[in-house]
Structure 1
Amino acid sequence: MESKYKFIGLAFLISMNVVNAQQSNSWPDRTVLPIEPYQKVGKIAPTIKDSDPIEWPKEISAPNGAPNVLLIMIDDVGYGATSTFGGPVPTPVFDNLAKNGLTYNRFHTTAVCSSSRAALITGRNHHTAATGIIMEFSTPYPGYNSLVPRSVASIGKILTDNGYGTSWFGKNHNVPDWQTSPAGPFNLWPTGLGFEYFYGFLGADAHQFRPALMENTKPVDPYIVDGKVDENYILDKDLANKAINWIQTQKSVSPNKPFFVYYTPGTAHAPHQAPKEWIEKFKGKFDYGFEKQRQMTFEKQKAMGIIPKDAKLAPTPSEYQKWDALSPNMKKIVAREMEVYAAQLAYSDYQIGRVIQSIKDMGELDNTLIIYIMGDNGASAEDPTGHGLTSEIGIMVNGEVDTEEFMLKNLDDFGGPWMAEHYSQSWAHAMNTPYQWDKKIASHLGGSRTGMVISWPAKIKQTGQIRSQFTHITDIVPTILEAASLPVPKSVDGFVQEPMAGTSIEYTFDNAKAPEKHSTQYFEIIGNRAIYKDGWIASTTPKILPWEGNHPASKDPVNDYKWELYNLNADFSQTNDIAAKNPQKLKELQDVFNKEASKYEVYPLDDRYIERLNPENRPNFNKGRNEFVFHEGTSRITEGMAPNMKNTSYSIKADIEVKSGDEGMIITQGGYFGGTAFMLLKGKPTFTYAFSHYPDHKWTIQSPTPLTAGKHTLVMNFDYAGGGAGKAAKVTILVDGKEAAKGDIPQTVPKRFSSDETLDVGEDFGTPVIRDYEVPFKFQGKIDKVTVNLKS
């Protein structure tokens, strides 16, 4: 047999003649992924002694000199929050990267979490990635259904198939709402998208002290050690530890293999939580209020050269809370909220520094491309009160109302495990200095422009400089590919790929005045939209304030919005609306938006928000199902996949066996900030309901008598009053068919128990519904089964 190359794989097994020497000369073709190994074969005879030596199959490896990549993105951090961009929060790691790299002062996101994250890891516009809105609010339309197409491969998949080691640490928020349970499917989880390792959480946010984490596709609870809560655990430190260990392992075992780490902590999305000693560092630092902070940041940004000398400070819309309108006590509360936020962000930056230091200690920093994005959107003003919230889900979604008395009484608990606060809308606006508006408002820079720094010592020589070309979150994947000398793939797993929407920004590394290559970009979130082209931006005027979650939809979201026009080349901070003077230019840009929107599946526009939250609005394996049978050990059933026990009557039946004095959780959903639990508490059948974390929003119905040893059937009947959402209910507990206790629940959760806590059977994870027990509160007896029956 003549010498020839042949590929190892199914194609060769089907036909040895398909692959020949000519094809092998082009190996590897990195435009078609995955890449099969190839093998040079000599003479093959019936015996070893008559055969020529054979080379081992050659497997794909990254191009020579390809850099390691550390891609960092922080959550809900505005342009003017960090010290690097003139803000009040010290971020020395971010500062140091800017000093030794490049600062981008015109970098843009999509204005909300899921959408930015989909665009970041795919290099395509968020609607192309079917993520026109956050996962929990998805609708069936192509740009909004949250099912990322196979024609839109992630950077994790591309780099893995090109010989990188790949990992993802922290927030995901890119798995469809109905696919987030441990039952899968897993094809849209990080490991299904091509990342080799994932350690983090799937939803919108995470409790820093009790997070619902996944390792690959397995639930893990690192804050529980030897059956007890580790009071020293905190998520940001854990993520750094895991990332450091993963990087060290990669380089210890495969020193020549470049790594890709996508590091995206939930900081600084609500809940704002941080170590107490870090919070104390900021005590009294924000007592002067929002307006002064905004002015201080603006002046510092000019002094630093982050914004041009002729830039103007955008006026604060009149709807925002004013500092002087707050009572003296409320000023103390609101200042404390900002102290917590600053502590969380500063602490996260510190942990990121540990990851970078570990890379430096291994001698890998010189050839590591670090992209540090400070915000997946602008700071979040999702506070309808003006004085902040002690529970975002409770107040923003479920209509809970904070009181000054409660907030002041519990001020020392802010930032700790028993508060899930979010700061004032006006602190958010101050963090978005010098722009107007905030997260969710894609039409304006306060929602879409955030800070970014890039460091790559081996490549970037003009360090400490600012780059002002228009850049967008879709530019990151093309930049990484160019840095690694990799082409954009044409086909992945047999699926022809959508073109990249972004453009590599490596052209800016050595040329501050290089003409920008990303010259046209549309923006759209919840009906708010804009179109950027060649220095101009046309923007719709927001109809719905950032904190208005429950609002009526527009009858015509296309025509109900007024348009504004700005020349960003002369008006850096988008302050001078010149639409009335330039109707022709406005019309020109509106036509461009329509063209881009049609091309990228932006239509139909939809400005509904909380109205879309109901899991019944999306595919659900439970639709039409009234009976659910669970078994001990079932856990982490997300709210979208759990039986919907809100605004309806239902019953829970538990068949159990106990010894005298046994206690523990039977079934629970949600947690301390909203949830239910059916359990044995000190041996007594107990049902507890939490509308919120307020003490008078928790109701417990308990049998006066502990269970005797043996088998028992417990039933909890929840009889809902009806007449709308969030109404009262009556609870009756039966033990072996006999009534044991009954009571009233005056107010129930109308929309959502939690964004991160789940349904668990036989134990409880996260926070307890009431503090009379502590997680995991594992059931000490035996649970045969638990049956939930929903009643119409």
Structure 2
Amino acid sequence: MSIGKIRNTVGRLALAASLGAITLGTASPALAQADTPAAPPVQYQRQAPAGAPNVVLILLDDVGFGASATFGGPAATPALDRLAKEGLRYNRFHTTAICSPTRASLLSGRNPHATGIGAVMNVADERPGYSGFHAKDTATIAEILRQNGYSTAMFGKWHQTPDWEVSQSGPFDRWPTGEGFEKFYGFQGGETDQFEPTLYDGTTPIMRPAGDNYHLTDDLVDQSIKWMHAQKSVTPDKPFFLYLATGGIHAPIQVPKEYVDRYHGKFNQGWDKLREEIFARQKRLGVIPADAKLTPRPDGLPAWDSLTPQQKTFASRQMEAYVAFLAHTDDQMNRLVQSLKDSGQFNNTLFVYIVGDNGASAEGGLQGSLNYMGQLQGVPEPEEGKFAGIDRIGTADAYAHVNSAWAWATNAPFQWTKTVASHLGGTRNAMVLTWPDKIKTPGGVRSQFGHVNDITPTILEAVGIEAPKVVNGIAQKPMNGTSLVYSFNDAKAPERHTTQYFEVFGHRAIYHDGWMASAFHSRLPWTAGFDTVKKPFEEDTWELYDLRKDFSQSVNLAAKYPEKVDELKALFMKEAAANQVLPLKEQQFINNLPDLAKGVTRATYHEGTVSVPEKAVPHMNNRSWSLLSDVTTSDNTRGVIATIGGTAGGWSLYLDAERRPTFTYRVFDLKTVDLKGAPLAPGANKLRVDFDYDGKGYGKGGKLTLSVNGQPVASDTVPASPLAYFSINETFDVGLDTGSAGGKYPAGAPLGYPYADGKIDQVTIELR
């Protein structure tokens, strides 16, 4: 071999070794085969199919079919209007009727129970279809696209991680970054404070950006735009998948005041009249057929005229803020759309805008609420307090939600609301879809049956990727959804999604070839989690609707076609058995799922422990407890020692601006207790709070006592306490208050009011 050949061979060997292709210790065999053809080069970057579009998926929260102006509603939605003119409106698109299942189905292309998330995370139970434990045999579209050359990011509400995994102990494989998203910026629970949210960047708890005019929706869109710009700056030829799921317009209703002012006096006519107005506009817009009927108000919802003048005033203000919240949310989506257009990315972007993960929510109660988290648990909200706080509606100082009848009104023309999976008011949502490069006749309405499980197959077909049979070594369940691409350029194309079951809280339905059979179970949507009515499932009455002729599900044909009812009931049971829906059970309050605090009666925490879910600390509800802390102070020590909860309700032990130990305990809007001691002397100090519960039972009151260095310094009583929780999204923190404030911190204090110029040696929660 010539010297030149030897040098070339050694050079190739060194390069190959640096890339991990061979080991230099095997030089002799490699030299003997130096002239053989080289192996194919390693593919170091995954490549998306040529011409693959960007994908933007928007999901709003708790929005009725008839809420947006684009679909006849009272809320101005210019972004949705604009997209509808440039794309398509879908008027027979369906969700699951509740949050977490819709999100699981949307991102996986499967039926919700098949993924393990057939129930909202807060009421999961041990049945495989309801556990909230996302099975890895139903991989997300984010993971599929990531493995096929896409950048992936998720901003906003996730609500698909099991309760026992939502802490800094992990595991994190069911957080967004473990489910295919390379970037996550948002919140974990079912809701969050819009002005002081509980935020994560990836898996790390963070405080929201500083500033006096902060709102979460603005922030989420800002972060989304920054991410898109960065992604295209570094890898301009790489497509992206952006999933943006807002907190709006889920309670709490919190929105900049200038938006509320735009709707002042717009709802004094009440919900019955508003519903008629929406219905008329829907017909004029062509988003419902001319022969559609307006369904009547369900039994149990009050007529507007039955309210007192004071109740009407309060309800009208609630609705002004509620509609303003949707208008504000849509305005932020407009910024996102404009950013895509300005960057030249819009035309080759499949943009899917789903207006609600279920119908509008009736969880605000029949009279509406200034602090609905207490109302959900049956804690009384005195009317005089509500009326006195009317100017707080929509602000950071309230945790408001609208009257149930307003929700029903914005679900026009359908019968029911969120959680009622048996009827279209819970499951029918507006959707707009655009893709300028591929949709040739924009501005139309599509009426083929669609479901959230259709979105992943739609994306796959648009991108040009087959649904994978194996992901990360795990065989995948087949997808239940059907791509909607066939409908893009053919308004009259026969629908391809011909069968779909629905089930939430025992309310259930089956759609098949234009017919729908529906069985309302027992749980009323305005009694929320504390409906104790139990009814055998075999006693439920099945209704029958011919949706080919009856758009609004208004004419029950069960008596006329009993054989059809039996046929569809049998089909429901077949689909239920195939999708882990069975056995049907009432809503579960006690289950055998993992519980990080089960049996724990004493736990000690240290400074820096933050974002611990309320469910993961010793269960303090419905019993006596003590909070003990050893702290070291100086002349300048200030800040939070320990806290749980936030704006809705909770408690905080902290040192105020005068270094006084303070314990604030808020029982929603029923009562707030502030216990204070004298300024602490520099050095070691022992603080203690005792709650002596009033007897046995649930949600009782008790006596709170603050002690300093072994001496009681202040006490007060509360007439009630939470039955289950202060919040479904706020956390337990030591040395900092993440999310909204659990205490009355000094004006101008830094975000989270961190403990400063001192040391927290320990904080102990002890059940007694």
**Aligning the two structures, in what range does the TM-score lie when normalised by the shorter sequence?**
over 0.9
Q: Which residue of 1 aligns with 2:615?
A: 640
Task: Note the C-alpha offset of 1:675.
Answer: 0.7
Q: Which residue of 2 aligns with 1:34?
A: none
Q: Which residue of 2 aligns with 1:698?
A: 672
Q: Does 1:763 align with 2:743?
A: no
Contact 1:337 1:414 survives alignment (8 Å): yes
Q: Which residue of 2 aligns with 1:468?
A: 447
Q: Which residue of 2 aligns with 1:20?
A: none
| Within-5 A mapping of 1:277-426 | 277-384=258-365, 386-403=366-383, 405-426=384-405
Contact 1:670 1:676 survives alignment (8 Å): yes
Task: Note the C-alpha offset of 1:723.
Answer: 1.1
Distance 1:13 1:258 in 2: 34
Task: Note the C-alpha offset of 1:52.
Answer: 7.2
Larger CA deviation: 738-747 vs 576-585: 738-747
Distance 2:487 2:372 in 1: 40
Contact 2:249 2:322 survives alignment (8 Å): yes
Q: Does 1:190 align with 2:170?
A: no
Distance 2:247 2:298 in 1: 28
Change in CA separation of 1:561 and 1:783 when aligned onto 2, cut-off 3 Å: farther
Distance 1:46 1:146 in 2: 58
Question: What is the letter of the counterpart of residue 400 of structure 1?
Answer: P
Task: Note the C-alpha offset of 1:542.
Answer: 4.2
Contact 2:700 2:719 survives alignment (8 Å): yes
Question: What is the letter of the counterpart of residue 654 of structure 1?
Answer: S
Change in CA separation of 1:190 and 1:687 when aligned onto 2, cut-off 3 Å: same
Q: Does 1:779 align with 2:738?
A: no
Task: Note the C-alpha offset of 1:44.
Answer: 5.6
Q: Which residue of 2 aligns with 1:36?
A: none
Task: Note the C-alpha offset of 1:11.
Answer: 13
Distance 1:109 1:434 in 2: 16
Contact 1:154 1:193 survives alignment (8 Å): yes
Change in CA separation of 1:663 and 1:596 when aligned onto 2, cut-off 3 Å: same
Distance 1:529 1:218 in 2: 38
Q: Deviations over 1:59-95 (max 9, x none)?
A: 3210001100000111000111111111111111111
Q: Which residue of 2 aligns with 1:276?
A: 257
Larger CA deviation: 388-397 vs 522-531: 388-397
Task: Note the C-alpha offset of 1:424.
Answer: 1.1
Q: Does 1:519 align with 2:498?
A: yes
Question: What is the letter of the counterpart of residue 626 of structure 1?
Answer: T
Question: What is the letter of the counterpart of residue 262 of structure 1?
Answer: Y
Distance 1:506 1:53 in 2: 40
Q: Which residue of 2 aligns with 1:689?
A: 665
Distance 1:85 1:628 in 2: 52
Distance 2:561 2:650 in 1: 54
Distance 2:580 2:19 in 1: 36
Question: What is the letter of the counterpart of residue 699 of structure 1?
Answer: V
Change in CA separation of 1:617 and 1:771 when aligned onto 2, cut-off 3 Å: farther
| Within-5 A mapping of 1:494-533 | 494-533=473-512
Q: Does 1:727 align with 2:700?
A: yes
Contact 1:398 1:751 survives alignment (8 Å): no
Question: What is the letter of the counterpart of residue 474 of structure 1?
Answer: N
Query: Any idea what SS the aligned residue of 1:117 has?
Result: helix
Query: Any idea what SS the aligned residue of 1:260 has?
Result: strand
Change in CA separation of 1:762 and 1:770 when aligned onto 2, cut-off 3 Å: closer
Unaligned runs of 5+ in 1: 15-42
Q: Does 1:457 align with 2:432?
A: no
Distance 2:281 2:488 in 1: 25
Which of 470, 474, 487 is residue 491 of structure 1 equivalent to?
A: 470
Distance 1:295 1:9 in 2: 73
Distance 1:325 1:555 in 2: 30
Q: Which residue of 1 aligns with 2:650?
A: 675
Task: Note the C-alpha offset of 1:770.
Answer: 3.9
Q: Does 1:130 align with 2:124?
A: no
TM-score (norm 1): 0.90
Change in CA separation of 1:498 and 1:531 when aligned onto 2, cut-off 3 Å: same
Query: Any idea what SS the aligned residue of 1:247 has?
Result: helix
Which of 154, 157, 173 is residue 143 of structure 2 equivalent to?
A: 157
Distance 1:132 1:52 in 2: 52
Distance 1:566 1:96 in 2: 34
Contact 2:199 2:739 survives alignment (8 Å): no
Q: Which residue of 2 aligns with 1:559?
A: 538
Change in CA separation of 1:579 and 1:57 when aligned onto 2, cut-off 3 Å: closer
Change in CA separation of 1:83 and 1:732 when aligned onto 2, cut-off 3 Å: closer
Contact 1:666 1:783 survives alignment (8 Å): no
Task: Note the C-alpha offset of 1:663.
Answer: 2.8
Q: Which residue of 1 aligns with 2:232?
A: 251
Q: Does 1:218 align with 2:204?
A: yes
Which of 649, 658, 670 is residue 633 of structure 2 equivalent to?
A: 658
Which of 411, 414, 425 is residue 432 of structure 1 equivalent to?
A: 411
Contact 1:367 1:458 survives alignment (8 Å): yes
Task: Note the C-alpha offset of 1:462.
Answer: 1.5
Question: What is the letter of the counterpart of residue 661 of structure 2?
Answer: P
TM-score (norm 2): 0.93
Task: Note the C-alpha offset of 1:671.
Answer: 1.8
Task: Note the C-alpha offset of 1:719.
Answer: 2.3
Contact 1:522 1:530 survives alignment (8 Å): yes
Distance 1:490 1:52 in 2: 31
Q: Does 1:171 align with 2:171?
A: no
Distance 1:674 1:758 in 2: 12
Larger CA deviation: 109-118 vs 412-421: 412-421
Task: Note the C-alpha offset of 1:706.
Answer: 1.8
Contact 1:170 1:265 survives alignment (8 Å): yes
Q: Deviations over 1:738-768 (max 9, x none)?
A: 3334443332222211122111111222333
Distance 1:433 1:52 in 2: 67
Task: Note the C-alpha offset of 1:408.
Answer: 3.0
Q: Deviations over 1:119-146 (max 9, x none)?
A: 0000000001111111010001110011
Question: What is the letter of the counterpart of residue 343 of structure 1?
Answer: A
Contact 2:597 2:615 survives alignment (8 Å): no
Distance 2:150 2:110 in 1: 21
Distance 1:342 1:664 in 2: 37
Question: What is the letter of the counterpart of residue 693 of structure 2?
Answer: Y
Larger CA deviation: 240-249 vs 677-686: 677-686
Task: Note the C-alpha offset of 1:772.
Answer: 5.0
Question: What is the letter of the counterpart of residue 337 of structure 2?
Answer: I
Change in CA separation of 1:587 and 1:231 when aligned onto 2, cut-off 3 Å: same
Distance 1:670 1:169 in 2: 23
Change in CA separation of 1:135 and 1:285 when aligned onto 2, cut-off 3 Å: same
Task: Note the C-alpha offset of 1:730.
Answer: 2.6
Contact 2:96 2:503 survives alignment (8 Å): yes
Question: What is the letter of the counterpart of residue 124 of structure 1?
Answer: R
Contact 2:379 2:720 survives alignment (8 Å): no
Task: Note the C-alpha offset of 1:790.
Answer: 2.9
Q: Which residue of 1 aligns with 2:71?
A: 85
Contact 1:553 1:608 survives alignment (8 Å): no
Q: Deviations over 1:648-684 (max 9, x none)?
A: 2222221111113533211111123211112223222
Change in CA separation of 1:55 and 1:401 when aligned onto 2, cut-off 3 Å: same
Q: Does 1:147 align with 2:122?
A: no
Task: Note the C-alpha offset of 1:54.
Answer: 8.4
Change in CA separation of 1:259 and 1:592 when aligned onto 2, cut-off 3 Å: same
Taking only the aligned residue pairs, the percentage that are identical comes to 43
Change in CA separation of 1:685 and 1:586 when aligned onto 2, cut-off 3 Å: same
Query: Any idea what SS the aligned residue of 2:337 has?
Result: helix
Distance 2:692 2:455 in 1: 53
Q: Which residue of 2 aligns with 1:33?
A: none
Task: Note the C-alpha offset of 1:47.
Answer: 12
